[in-house]
Chain A
Amino acid sequence: MSVSDPNHLNESEYVESVRRERKRSQYQSAILSVIGILGFLILWQLSLVTGLVNSRFLSSPIEVVSLFITKLTDPRPDGAVIGANIVSSLIVALSGFGLAIVIGIPLGLLMGWYKGIDSFLRPIFEIIRPIPPVSWIPLTIVWVGIGLQAKAMIVFFAAFVPCLINSYTGIRQTREVLINVAKTFGASDFTTFLKVGIPYSMTMTFAGVKVAIGNAWATLVAAEMLAASSGLGYMILMGRQFGRVDLVILGIAVIGLIGTLITIIINAVENKILGWRKL
């Protein structure tokens, strides 16, 4: 292959220079991101040091970090160390979320592919869909109390809808001509579903999974603030009751960080499965 480059680089030099250029711009944006976060923390700290904001309403980042370190071993005042609260919340979120994926995605795919299943289930789904997940909270408390199951169920309701809708929409958009390719090779409808429909739907399905994990995490906190005896939401609630702003802010910060972490993991999985899109 020839390279039409004004500097007359050979191919490998050209590849190398493009690579270096890319690396540099990645580097630059990483540095900018770090500066952004640091700047935010510094402003936050300064606003308290200068007395611009009353420390009764807001604790400084340094206080929050030191509380985090204390809470690693100290269960006071909410009754659990931070690690236990995180684990408790993660278990609830991941079981509800996992259940939503395992039920929602296959159901969405089947409804999207098979007309009969669609006609049968769509009306029920359409009625359930607009119900806000938190409005299930009282009912689930009546059904299963305030344990793991209740919260997992609420999280499930929140994550289930985007999983189902996206896989449903994704598979319905499968290009007719790709289905025809499979047909001309003698594929059965079910094989076509597996080999063409499902892979085609994956882009949309993944977008749904991302929305679902966000919903799950957000709903979890709501559920824990209403019905729980441990977890990050519960910790925030206790912080409010004891008038401990630092505890509330720690809870919020940890929720934010874990949410980010989950997004990073999901993105990595997505890159692995849908790598072909980025080429």
Chain B
Amino acid sequence: MDKSRVKLKVDNISQSYVVGDEVLDAILNVSFDVYDNEFLVILGPGNCGKTVLLNVIGGLEKPTGGKLYLDGEEIVGSDKRISMVFQELALMPWKTVMENVEFGLQIEGVDKKTRREIAQKYIDLVQLTGFEKSYPSQLSGGMKQRVGIARAYTSNPEILLMDEPFGQLDAQTRYSMQEEIQKIWQQEKRTILFVTNNIEEAIYLGDRIILMSKSPGKIKEIYDIDLPRPRNSMDPEFLAIRKEVSENTDLAL
């Protein structure tokens, strides 16, 4: 992580919805910087607006207030340099693994041969070699999530937004996916914004952790995690941070 280079600036973002005849604030005045190549974790209880925040950064929703700057320039709407891994498994059931992974390149109009080559590289990276022709319904939950990760990498983004990508996995698969995503990040240096509601996962993965309060989501605290990688969740320092974050976390409703 290069703290001197701000990759993404989130400036005073708010998002609210009109529900019935009331205004519901989902997130309120959220500001932070994301550094180049950083693994930044956004940690918060359920319903605190984590998905809303990522959707705004990914350009899927227009915020009611605030601005976003990528490399110092304001961005509006979805931007090719930002890619997303969705909380719900968002694979096209009618497409094979290969077709799902190359989807972004297909949209960009890259010719078939080139996009197959690029997609293959990331399929290999997430260790799905041999499953190119399988359909999502034939894959396990962890494998499906890897397809989503490969797809996000394939369009060669500078920033990856990951919305609780391991939330639906069993504990064992979750641990191995955490290890794997860390390896991928170390190999393919990109900036990652990783959302989770799991404190251990946050401390295991994050260069920094942004802790959000419960709804309406605001930034409560930002932690620098200076532990060497790979981290050990039994390490006393790890446990100390975990205790500190845990005591500061709001309970979900």
On A, residues with C-beta under 8 Å from B are 175, 177-178, 180-187, 191, 195-196, 199-200, 202, 274, 276-277, 279
Residues of A within 8 A of B90 (CB): 175, 177-178, 180-181
Nearest CB on A from B118, distance (A)? 14
Q: How far is the CA of A202 from the CA of B92 in the complex (A)?
A: 13
What is the predominant secondary structure among interface residues of chain B facing chain A?
loop
Interface residues on B, range: 20 to 34
Within 8 A of A (CB), among B138-182: 138, 151, 155
Residues of A within 8 A of B37 (CB): none
Q: A185's contact among B55, B93, B95, B107, by CB below 8 Å, is which? A: B107
With most chain B CB atoms within 10 A of its CB, the pick from A175, A195, A276 is A276
Q: How far is the CA of A184 from the CA of B103 in the complex (A)?
A: 11
Nearest CB on B from A203, distance (A)? 9
On B, residues with C-beta under 8 Å from A are 55, 58-60, 78-80, 82-84, 86, 88, 90, 92-95, 103-104, 106-108, 135, 137-138, 151, 155
A177 near B86 with CB under 8 A, answer: yes
A276 near B82 with CB under 8 A, answer: no
Residues of A within 8 A of B94 (CB): 199-200, 202, 274, 276
Nearest CB on A from B42, distance (A)? 18
**5 residue pairs, one from A and one from B, having the closest CB atoms:** A185-B104, A177-B90, A185-B107, A276-B135, A187-B107
Q: A178's contact among B59, B60, B83, B92, by CB below 8 Å, is which? A: B92
Residues of A within 8 A of B104 (CB): 185
Residues of A within 8 A of B135 (CB): 276, 279
Q: How far is the CA of A155 from the CA of B90 in the complex (A)?
A: 40
Nearest CB on A from B144, distance (A)? 13
Assess A182 versus B138: contact at CB under 8 Å? Given A177-B88, A276-B94.
no
B84 near A184 with CB under 8 A, answer: yes
A196 near B84 with CB under 8 A, answer: no
Assess A279 versus B138: contact at CB under 8 Å? Given A178-B90, A181-B90, A184-B78.
yes
Residues of A within 8 A of B92 (CB): 178, 181, 196, 199-200
A185 near B155 with CB under 8 A, answer: yes
Q: How far is the CA of A180 from the CA of B58 in the complex (A)?
A: 10
B107 near A191 with CB under 8 A, answer: yes
Q: How far is the CA of A178 from the CA of B95 in the complex (A)?
A: 12
Q: B108's contact among A180, A186, A274, A277, by CB below 8 Å, is which? A: A186
Residues of A within 8 A of B84 (CB): 180-181, 184
Residues of B within 8 A of A175 (CB): 88, 90
- Selected A-B contacts with CB under 8 Å, 14 pairs: A177-B86, A178-B92, A181-B90, A181-B103, A181-B151, A182-B103, A182-B107, A183-B59, A183-B60, A184-B60, A184-B78, A200-B94, A279-B135, A279-B138
Q: A276's contact among B78, B88, B93, by CB below 8 Å, is which? A: B93
A184 near B59 with CB under 8 A, answer: yes
Residues of A within 8 A of B60 (CB): 180, 183-184
Q: How far is the CA of A185 from the CA of B90 in the complex (A)?
A: 13
B80 near A186 with CB under 8 A, answer: yes
